[in-house]
Each structure stands twice: as C-alpha cells, then as structure tokens.
Amino acid sequence: MESTEAQYVEGCSLTPIVTEQLWVEKYAPHSFTELLSDEHTNREVLLWLKQWDSCVFGSHIRGTSDDTLSALRRHSCTIQKNSSSRSFFSKSRGAYVMGQDSMPQKTPGSNSEDLKSTFHKKPSVDNAPEQKVLLLCGPAGLGKTTLAHVAAKHCGYHVVEINASDDRSASSIEPKILDVVQMNSIMSDSKPKCLVIDEIDGALGDGKGAVEVILKMINADKNNDSDRSNGAEETQVQKASSRKSHRTAKLLRPVICICNDLYAPALRKLRQVAKVHIFVQPTISRVVNRLKYICKKEGFKTSSIALSALADYTECDIRSCLNTLQFLNKKREALNISGFDSQVIGRKDMSKSILDVWKQVLQKKKLKRAEMADCNVSGDKDIGSLFSLISNRGDYDVTMDGIHENFLKLSYHDPMLHKTVKCLDVLGVSDYLTQYVYRTQHMSLQAYQPPIAITISRIVAQVEKPNIEWPKALQRCRTMLLEKKDTLKTWQNRMSPLISRHLSVESFVGDIASPFLHILSPLNLRPVALNLMSEREKNELVQLVDTMVAYSVTYKKTKFEPQERANGSIVPMDIPSLSFDPPINDIISFKDYQSEHIGLSLAMKQVLVHEVEKQKIIKDSAGKLLNQINEGVRSEVPTTTCQKTATGTACDTSQGSSKGKSSTLPMQLHSASSLSGKGLAPAKRPSSRPTDFFQSFRKERPGGAKTHIDAGQQGATVQRDLRPLIFKYNEGYTNAVKRPIRVRDLLL
C-alpha cells in the first residue's frame, strides 16, 4: 500500500517536471544562426575563436573550397528549423566554415583573407590570437552565455563552464583551469575544450581567483615567447609536438570570460589584456520575432504590440521575457500592456553606475508620439523610474555633487536665473539634510534625497545629451584645503610658541598673509655685500632677518618659480630659483589673479638665506659656548697626546708636494696645524664639498705640523680645537676655512 502510494506521489511530482521544461532552456539557440544577439558581436566572437584554430587543431586546418562552402550555405537554410542538425556540427570539423559563411557581406575580403592567412601559415609558430582571452560584458539576459556556448560548439570545441556556483577560490580554480586549458580529453570524440568562465566579476571572493590564474598564464605565455626553455609539462601538446617543434605555451585553449560590469575593480588587469566585447541590446523587433515564434509554438496568444512592450519594459532581457510569458501561460492569463507594473514581471534590482544616474537626471527622455498624448502618465512613470534609479544607487552625497558639478553647463532657458536659484536652493536643502542625518543618525530621512534630484531634473533637464563630468572640483578642494592647513600647522609648530599662540590659521590667512609677504620683501633692499650697505640699510636687513628667523621662514631652492615667469623675465631652467620655505606665498596665489606682491631678486634671496642660516647658528651656539670653554680647559692634557698621534699618522699619507705651497701660504699653514687631528674629523662630515680643495688643504698640514709647531703654540691650538668647529661649505665661499677662527667670530 505504502509503496504504491509513494510511487503515486512520485509519479505526480515527476510529471510536471518532465512536461514543463523552462522555455528559456527549451528555446535556447542551438546554432550560430539562431542567436538573437547583435550580429556584429557574434561575428567578432566567432572570428576570434577561429583564430585559435591553427593553434588548437593544428594541421587539421585547411582552406575551404568553394563547393563545400556553397553546400554548407545550402545546409544552413535548413538548420534554423532543424535543431537536430546540430549533430552535424559537432561531427564535422568543417563547422568553422560557417563562420566564413556568415561573414559580413561588405568586407568579405579582409576577414577571410585574414583567416586564410592564418590557416596557411604553418603551425610551427604559436598561432594563437594576440589577445588570448575574450571578455564579454553586458547586462543580464542578453545572451552572453548562450553566445559563448554556441560559438564555441560551432567551432568544434567542447565547452567547459565555470560559473559563480562553482568553488572559485584561487587554489581550487587553478588546477581546474589548467585541466581545461592544457589537457587533452581522452574521450572518444577528443574535442578540444573551450573554457567559459561565467560571471567572472561577481562572487569572486577576496582572491579574485580566476582572474589571477588567467593573468598568470598569459604572462607565462609572454615570457615563453622570449625564451623557450620551458619544461614540456603539458600532455596536450603531444599531438602538436609530434608534428613539429610546437612550443609549449601555457594558454593553449580559448578562454571566454563573461561579466556584467566591465569596470569591476577585479577585472582591471584582465581588461588590459583581453579582447573586450560589449553587448548591446538586440533590436526589439528581433526579440519580438523570436518571442512570437515561441508563443506560436507554445500556443500562447499574444499580440505583437504587447510583446514589444514587454521587451521594452525588460530592456530586451530575453530571459525575463520568456520567463514571464511562460508564467502567464501557466496561469492562463493574457499579456496585458497596461498592467505591467502590477503584473508579475519583476523589475530587476539593478544599480546603475553613477554616471548613468547623472545622465538620467540631466537628460530629458525623448517623448514618442504615442506617449505625447498621455503626457501625464508618462511623466509619472519617468518620476517613478528616476526615483528608483537614484535610490537604488544610494550614494546621495556623490550624486548631488555630480548634479551640482554638471547642471550649470546645460543649456536650459533661464533669462532671469529663476531656475538656477531654485536648483541651488534645492541643493542647499540636500546639503543641510545630509548634515542633519549625519548628526542625528536618522537615516530614514535620506529617503527624501531622490525627490530633490528629481526636482532639479524637472527644472533643468534637456533633451540633448549632457556632457557629464565627474565632480572632481569639490573633492580636490577638500583635500587641498586639508593639505594647506597641515602645512600651516607644521609651520606654526616650528615657531617659538610665544609667537605661534597668536597665529591661528584663520587669522594668518585672513589678516596676516598679504602684509607679511610685503614685509618680507622690502622694495628698497639692495643685493650688495654687508659692508657696502648704509647704516639704515643694515638696520633694515637685520630686522628682516630677525623677522624671518622668528617666524622660521626661509628660502629654499625650487626648480621653477611661476611668479618670475609671469613677470616676463626668463628664468633659465638649470639655475634654480629660491622660494619661501613654508610655501606661504601659495596662500595668496589665486587663479587668474595677479598679486601686487613682488618677490625679491634672486641675489637678495641668496643673501637672506645666508644671513638667516647664520642667525640660526648664532642662536644655537650661544647657549652651548660657555659649557664648552670650561670643558676645554679641563681636558687639555689628554687631548694633546691624542692630537700628536693623530698628526703623526696623518703625516705619512702625504709629504711630497707640500713644500712649495707652504711657503706661499703661511696663513693656510697655520690653519692647517690648528685643524689637524680633531678638527678634521667634524670637517669630514659635510659631503657636498669639492675634493680638490680639501686635498690641497690636507697636503699642507704635515709640513706645518712637523716644523713650525712649538710646545706653547700647540697648547693654544689644542685649546682652540676643543671647541668643535662645525661649518657648512657653501659654494662661492672659498675663504671658508683658511684662517684659524671660531665660528662665532665669523658670525659676529
């Protein structure tokens, strides 16, 4: 009893499954000619696949004679109705002829020639196409997967599909891909495989698995081109290698990747190496024809108007159309044009790219004549679709920025600017709303953002296509503002706190910057040596240097100073110019604005840099000096011995050529002796000094050290040496260390 009942139940549940095959599958195109997608794309894909032939099929390829072509053409007429003829394709390798058969009539020469040339070439070279991966992208339901399958079968491949439902971590996917791409099937029919990776952009997890593996193979391929020392680890090539010295390439089978979003970040690298085909919607009439055919077959009564409306509504998503029709058929309902919204057809929950959103907002849809009549209805529909579009996108902040960036460039008629005012007011409301939501976390209020965009759309949208730009300005403004504030803050930290406490960023920018720059570059300062200046000028200079030190401003070398360029004087590129070190003059440089501020001359700047440096050293050393003197006296004795040994060792290095010079330059001698030993060590530190100068300086020393130093002198020099001599070698100041003097003597 029970068993029969179970059987009965089983039978019941089984029957509908058998009868109700999905229409989508039932009527899926089985041959190339049945494809609904765009003819051009189909051909391109096929052509690409054909380019693999010489690589994959090797010597099996031969040119097609005209009679076979015509025979096939005859055959192709029947094939459309007769899906069983598909077996023919799988059997005969000559299926690729179909590709030539369906080549565009306009350019039969170039394409077929191209193909033939690849055919005629000996497969000794790797004849795989330039781009080894095909990337098909486009919205759902247009037949990307179908195309890939059909085209691959058409060319005599065995299709292996990896899609989102499979495990696709990098580790598990790699052997799989390698299997497909490099192994040969040992099955009886031994068709080469073609890999189709479906939905490569989605469900990739963190590893981006598939993309990485493919890229690796492509790269390996490229490397192989240069050196052919790659182990023959692939069994696949047996056939080829037996024939000729076929090189082992990594990627030996066509790979077709399918994605929805071409610009998904995971695909960035793949995009550069793959041949990309973007799917466009097939024409509505094509879709409707197919739908009609199917409906007729299934005995479902519809009108072509209803079908075309359906196709339009689903944006030519054939899968969705068929599913809907099948569902309605099952429910025994008729397709009703007006009731699409209430009917079963689900709208796809698709978020468009933000650029599309802006485009939709700023571009008015062209009204068709039929819709003109019921303008109100279509208007409502527009608002509805816009609303869902914007709210699906969600990113209101960026959306509004984009609208703000672009709406002024539209050519709307607005003599009194009422529309502009209205738009900006509304944008202001949106800004306030965002701020309020962030502060109070009432996220539900965000729902009022789309109507704001719709309002703007209603006010300014134009029929002509807007030239949408990404709202860079606002972002740039924000980052640069932060950057500048940061520079000012760090500058403030360098100043003495007694000054910086009164110098907030606001007050500096608002009040101080402009006068400060004027004060820093007095007009009547002459770039002459200090001793040539009048008393007043000296005073002014001292004041200026004092100010610069106090506010820790100095000049630094830059490659190029725009200010001088603007003034017309030509600055040679190799001579670096000096500009303010905290770039405070940036604060007053606006675009299209010529400031009254005139910078100092280069020579004057150099003088100032020098003076500022000097002042800083004086300040630093002032504190240290006292301690050092005390220490120096105490540790006199031990250092003398040190010095003696130091000079002794130094003598050996160079003795010969010192005599002649030592007589002519007694001053130098003196300095050399005083600097010997200890003095040399710190002097070695600066790296930018010319070597010749110091070599001559070194040669002087031994002679002097030997002959002229008596004990008393030595004591004096040692004491002097104890004060560490730190100097910076400046280009142009050759008299820097010719006399034994203290740095503070130099400075004062």
**What part of residues 489-528 is at the interface with another protein (CB under 8 A)?**
489, 493, 497-502, 504-507, 509-516, 518-519, 522-524
What distance lies between CA 376 and its chain's CA centroid?
A: 45
- d(CA 360, CA 402) in angstroms, rounded, equals 12
Q: Collapsing DSSP states into helix, strand and coil, what is residue 277?
A: strand
| Binding of residue 731 to another protein (CB under 8 A) | no
- The CB-of-355 to another protein minimum distance in angstroms stands at 20
- 352 exposure class (CB count in 10 Å sphere: 0-12, 13-18, 19+): middle
Footprint of another protein on 546-565 (CB under 8 A): 546-547, 550-551
DSSP letters for 204-226: -TTTTHHHHHHHHHHHHHHHHHH
Closer by beta carbon to another protein, 408 or else 633: 408
| Contact in structure between 393 and 352 (CB atoms under 8 Å) | yes
- The CB-of-481 to another protein minimum distance in angstroms stands at 6
- The CB-of-421 to another protein minimum distance in angstroms stands at 5
- Binder of another protein out of 144, 290, 404, 678 (CB under 8 A): 404
- The CB-of-580 to another protein minimum distance in angstroms stands at 15
Closer by beta carbon to another protein, 71 or else 408: 408
- The CB-of-490 to another protein minimum distance in angstroms stands at 11
Closer by beta carbon to another protein, 364 or else 597: 597
Closer by beta carbon to another protein, 243 or else 597: 597
- Binder of another protein out of 43, 116, 484, 738 (CB under 8 A): 484
- The CB-of-588 to another protein minimum distance in angstroms stands at 4
The tokens of 367 are what?
């009204």
Closer by beta carbon to another protein, 80 or else 493: 493
- d(CA 142, CA 38) in angstroms, rounded, equals 9
List alpha helices for 394-471, DSSP H.
396-407, 418-440, 449-460
Partner residues linked to 462 by β-bridges? 363
| Contact in structure between 541 and 611 (CB atoms under 8 Å) | yes
- The CB-of-404 to another protein minimum distance in angstroms stands at 6
- The CB-of-583 to another protein minimum distance in angstroms stands at 11
- d(CA 52, CA 57) in angstroms, rounded, equals 8
- d(CA 551, CA 491) in angstroms, rounded, equals 9
- Binder of another protein out of 71, 203, 408, 667 (CB under 8 A): 408
Q: What are phi and psi of 209, to 5 degrees?
A: -30, -70
The tokens of 5 are what?
């009942």
Closer by beta carbon to another protein, 184 or else 601: 601
- The CB-of-460 to another protein minimum distance in angstroms stands at 9
Length of the chain: 748
Residue 118, CB half-sphere, CA atoms under 13 Å: how many?
22
Residue the block writes with tokens 């949208």: 461
Closer by beta carbon to another protein, 514 or else 696: 514
- d(CA 191, CA 241) in angstroms, rounded, equals 18
- The CB-of-467 to another protein minimum distance in angstroms stands at 13
Closer by beta carbon to another protein, 372 or else 523: 523
| Binding of residue 586 to another protein (CB under 8 A) | yes
- The CB-of-543 to another protein minimum distance in angstroms stands at 9
| Binding of residue 263 to another protein (CB under 8 A) | no
| Binding of residue 542 to another protein (CB under 8 A) | no
Cα dihedral 594/597/600/601 (nearest 10): 30
Count of residues that interact with another protein, criterion CB under 8 A = 71
Please name the helix (run of DSSP H) or strand (run of DSSP E) that holds residue 48, with its range, or none: helix 39-51
What Cα–Cα distance (Å) separates residue 50 from each residue in 94, 114, 115, 143, 275? 11, 11, 8, 20, 14
Closer by beta carbon to another protein, 596 or else 710: 596
Closer by beta carbon to another protein, 352 or else 419: 419
Interface stretch with another protein, choices 226-234, 380-388, 477-485, 699-707 (CB under 8 A): 477-485
Partner residues linked to 135 by β-bridges? 257, 276
| Binding of residue 583 to another protein (CB under 8 A) | no
- The CB-of-165 to another protein minimum distance in angstroms stands at 39
| Binding of residue 535 to another protein (CB under 8 A) | no
Taking alpha carbons only, the member of 556, 520, 526 closest to residue 538 is 526
Footprint of another protein on 203-232 (CB under 8 A): none
Interface stretch with another protein, choices 89-97, 204-212, 272-280, 488-496 (CB under 8 A): 488-496
The tokens of 552 are what?
């820790």
Closer by beta carbon to another protein, 180 or else 400: 400
| Contact in structure between 584 and 516 (CB atoms under 8 Å) | yes
Residue 474 one-letter amino acid? L
Closer by beta carbon to another protein, 320 or else 521: 521
List alpha helices for 576-601, DSSP H.
none
- Binder of another protein out of 125, 305, 480, 741 (CB under 8 A): 480
Taking alpha carbons only, the member of 120, 123, 128, 65 closest to residue 97 is 65
| Contact in structure between 290 and 318 (CB atoms under 8 Å) | yes
DSSP letters for 650-675: HHHH--TTHHHHHHH-HHHHHHHHHH
Residue the block writes with tokens 């009432």: 442
Q: Which residues contact 661 (CB under 8 A, 6 or more apart)?
A: 668, 696, 699, 700
Interface stretch with another protein, choices 25-33, 86-94, 308-316, 543-551 (CB under 8 A): 543-551
- The CB-of-452 to another protein minimum distance in angstroms stands at 12
| Binding of residue 488 to another protein (CB under 8 A) | yes
- The CB-of-485 to another protein minimum distance in angstroms stands at 6
- The CB-of-360 to another protein minimum distance in angstroms stands at 21
Closer by beta carbon to another protein, 367 or else 429: 429
| Binding of residue 383 to another protein (CB under 8 A) | no
Closer by beta carbon to another protein, 373 or else 499: 499
Closer by beta carbon to another protein, 106 or else 502: 502
Footprint of another protein on 416-475 (CB under 8 A): 416-418, 420-421, 424-425, 427-428, 431-432, 434-436, 473-474
- d(CA 588, CA 37) in angstroms, rounded, equals 59
Q: Collapsing DSSP states into helix, strand and coil, what is residue 408?
A: coil
Closer by beta carbon to another protein, 599 or else 703: 599
- d(CA 662, CA 721) in angstroms, rounded, equals 21
Write the interaction track for another protein spanning residues 587-626; mark x where CB under 8 A is met and - where it is not: xxxxxxx-xxx-----------------------------
- d(CA 149, CA 163) in angstroms, rounded, equals 13
- The CB-of-167 to another protein minimum distance in angstroms stands at 36
Taking alpha carbons only, the member of 267, 300, 304, 270 closest to residue 287 is 304
Taking alpha carbons only, the member of 742, 710, 704, 721 closest to residue 636 is 721
- The CB-of-456 to another protein minimum distance in angstroms stands at 12
